[in-house]
Amino acid sequence: MSSVSGKAFDLNLLRRTMVYVRPFKKTFWTTTIVAVAISVFAPVRPWITQYALDNYVLKKDLNGLALITAILVGVLIIQFILQFIYTTLTNFLGQEVILQLRKDLYNRLLEFKLSFFDKTAVGTMVTRLVSDMETIADIFSDGLILIISDLLQVIIIVAVMLFISPKLALISLVTIPVLLYATRIFQIKIKDVFKDVRTQVARLNEFVQ
């Protein structure tokens, strides 16, 4: 049985994959801008809720509460529209990239000599053509841009927290070193599991073939 090696994350491979994004630069940058907009809206809803509680609920101001509720609904609608656009564009981008990748990989396979197919397990090739291609598509639909969006969202939320209450914000951030350490341990463990899963998928594909 064959084994499949590789990194859980390869920056060099990501750079090479980004070449396939060039024909869709407008879509990529539009998606990035939408992701940034979603990040900006992240702290708005909690702030509106806090403002409503402090200024309208406690004071029993029903007219003001109705107005702030309408604003909150408007924010939710905008967030929904942005999220819909983001999901549509990222999936479109991922599928277009994977389509071109599969075409290039197929054409490349046709150039190999028959000895290559004698030495390479069928399961490995199927894994490369199917499972690995889907993983690359996920980089664009649920990975790269989402990481940028989440990172920016964290920065904005922390900035707002520090602006509202620096002392309380610093107390909340005390747990970050523990979270970073736990994340690092998880990353090390998941790397071996990732390789094992890919190897098992290759073996399964080889067996089925």
Q: What is the CATH number of domain 11-208?
A: 1.20.1560.10
Q: How confident is the model at residue 180 (pLDDT cuts 50, 70, 90)?
A: confident
Q: At what angle do helices 62-111 and 144-164 cross, to 10 degrees?
A: 150
Task: Decide if pLDDT at 3 tops 60.
Answer: no
Lowest-pLDDT range of 15-19, 107-111, 170-174: 15-19
More confident residue, 97 or 145: 97
Mean of pLDDT values over 150-157: 82
Q: What is the pLDDT of residue 119?
A: 80
- Stronger pLDDT, 102 or 126, i.e. the higher one: 102
113-147, pLDDT tens digit by residue?
888 877 877 777 777 777 777 777 777 666 677 77
Confidence of residue 2 (pLDDT cuts 50, 70, 90): very low
For residue 14, pLDDT over 80 is answered with: no
Predicted local distance difference test score (pLDDT) of residue 85: 93
Q: What is the pTM of this model?
A: 0.69
Q: Which range is least confidently modeled, 1-15, 51-65, 149-163?
A: 1-15
- Give the long-range contacts of residues 44-47, CB within 8 A, separation 24 or more: 44/75, 45/72, 45/75, 45/76, 45/79, 47/160
